[in-house]
Amino acid sequence: MRIVIIGGGVMGSALAWWLLRDLAFSGELVVVERDPSYRQASSALSASSIRQQFSIPVNIAISRFGFAFLRRVDGLLAVDGEAPALSLLERGYLILAGERGESVLRANHEVQRAHGVEVALLAPDELRARFPWLSVEGVALASLGLSGEGWFDGWALLQGFRRAAIALGARYLTEEVVAGERRGSRAMAVRLASGERIAGDIFVDAAGPWAGRIAAMFDLELPVEARRRCVYMFETPEPPAEAPLLVDPSGFWCRPEGRGFICGRPPSPEEDLPDLPLIAEDRFFEEEIWPHLAHRVPAFERLRLHSSWAGYYAWNRFDQNALLGPHPEVENLHFMAGFSGHGIQQAPAIGRGIAERILHGRYLGLDLSPLDVERLVAGRPLREQAVI
Ligand SMILES: Cc1cc2nc3c(=O)[nH]c(=O)nc-3n(C[C@H](O)[C@H](O)[C@H](O)COP(=O)(O)OP(=O)(O)OC[C@H]3O[C@@H](n4cnc5c(N)ncnc54)[C@H](O)[C@@H]3O)c2cc1C
């Protein structure tokens, strides 16, 4: 059997590793990755944080598995005794809601508690007592993750999967897929920019923000597009100690990183256009983020912007959730796409799930079927309420 994975980011590489360590696999595994420096790949530009505070049980289960995986990564992904230096830090997300967001926060809390998440709702006075550096003005309620949340080095995770997959026999080709060949309900081959044709038995679209373009090469429509998200890094003379990852009702998120902090916020819907150049504009930070940061954390009034970068979310226009598994119209073309900003934490679980689906025809561990790409065709969205 020959499996061809298009895209060797964290998803494609996680899948390659899970496939090759499964005894049911025999044959050849090719990962076509056009840029081994990953300059524009989401996995290299991610804020790499992991949370359990989702609104949908399957996303909660995926992250719970992910966190357990990250904790054990040394034993799992070490090659020649060298494990990826993930620097996993366990620190909760603190999600603040104003009056308008309070009912959603409470509804999410119910789902999370029912699925074993350790999470606490805090009223403004409890919040003030616990985080004295925070202004609670305009906050009706907060939700704090008590375990299984935090952040890590996403680049190290990507490289860890990639190195471990290569050690097991994955062949990474530095090539660009430029066309697909399909006969009826089967994908037959991909064409590379070099002119080479690679035939295969199974194909996987793991092309991140460009997954929609790969789908189109097989005459399929996938509502996934590249939406720019900017990250700003700053330092401040008196940083709040032991800060969690903060999500503000105004839309910004912020968390410690090294000696400073990183932060970002989604642009307005009118400005959120596909394929914008990967440039983080200082103006956006100064006008749209800083005033809110300084309002929420007065110590941030004296911050100094240090650096910035921009990366693409693989935005799923349909329902902002992963699109997984074989396409109903092309049975041997699997998708790992549309992660809409929460993919890096999902890579361990989704890599395993898609490997099971390919090799065993069904999910053996976590049931990821609510995320089947088939829901697109059925017109049945599964909307995630907690998109950051
Ligand atoms: C600013 C930012 C912050 C984020 N924060 C978080 C977070 O805190 N937590 C979280 O869980 N997630 C976060 N994410 C999302 C997360 O990083 C992604 O969901 C995840 O990295 C997706 O991995 P991927 O492998 O699907 O995509 P990618 O890493 O983009 O990999 C896709 C690969 O496909 C290759 N490719 C594309 N087209 C072709 C082609 N035609 N031929 C050959 N190769 C091709 C590309 O070169 C690329 O390397 C964030 C993303 C961004 C941009």
Residue nearest atom 24 in ligand 1 by C-alpha distance? 208
Is the Cβ atom of 4 under 6 angstroms away from ligand 1?
Answer: no
Token reading at 91: 């620190």
User: Could you give the CA distance from residue 273 to residue 251 in angstroms, rounded to a whole number?
Assistant: 18
Residue 384, pLDDT score: 86
Ligand 1 mean position, distance from CA 28 (Å): 24
The beta strands (E) that lie in the chain are given as: 2-6, 28-32, 49-50, 89-90, 93-97, 119-122, 141-145, 150-151, 171-173, 177-183, 186-192, 197-199, 202-205, 224-235, 245-247, 253-257, 260-264, 304-316, 323-327, 330-337
Is the Cβ atom of 204 under 6 angstroms away from ligand 1?
Answer: no
Question: Does residue 388 have a pLDDT over 90?
Answer: no
Ligand 1 mean position, distance from CA 209 (Å): 6
Give which of 20, 16, 22 is closest to 4, Cα–Cα: 16
Instruction: Calculate mean pLDDT across residues 7-27.
Output: 97
Q: Contact at 8 Å (CB) between 141 and 121? A: yes
Question: Does residue 59 have a pLDDT over 90?
Answer: yes
Residue nearest atom 38 in ligand 1 by C-alpha distance? 207
pLDDT tens digits, 322-371 = 999 999 999 999 999 999 999 999 999 999 999 999 999 999 999 999 99
pLDDT tens digits, 74-85 = 999 999 999 999
Question: Does residue 283 have a pLDDT over 90?
Answer: yes
User: Could you give the CA distance from residue 43 to residue 25 in angstroms, rounded to a whole number?
Assistant: 26
Residue among 39, 59, 158, 344 whose CB has most ligand 1 atoms within 8 A, to mutate: 344
- Domains in the chain, CATH or no CATH each: 2-83+153-223+318-378 (3.50.50.60), 89-147+226-313 (3.30.9.10)
**pLDDT, the chain, mean:** 97
Residue 385, pLDDT score: 82
CA distances in angstroms from 258 to 19, 67, 311, listed in the order given: 35, 21, 20
Ligand 1 mean position, distance from CA 241 (Å): 31
C-beta atoms surrounding 25 within 10 Å: 18
Instruction: Calculate mean pLDDT across residues 250-276.
Output: 96
Question: Does residue 387 have a pLDDT over 90?
Answer: no
Instruction: Calculate mean pLDDT across residues 127-138.
Output: 97
pLDDT category of residue 203 using cuts at 50, 70 and 90: very high
pLDDT tens digits, 215-226 = 999 999 999 999
Residue 15, pLDDT score: 98
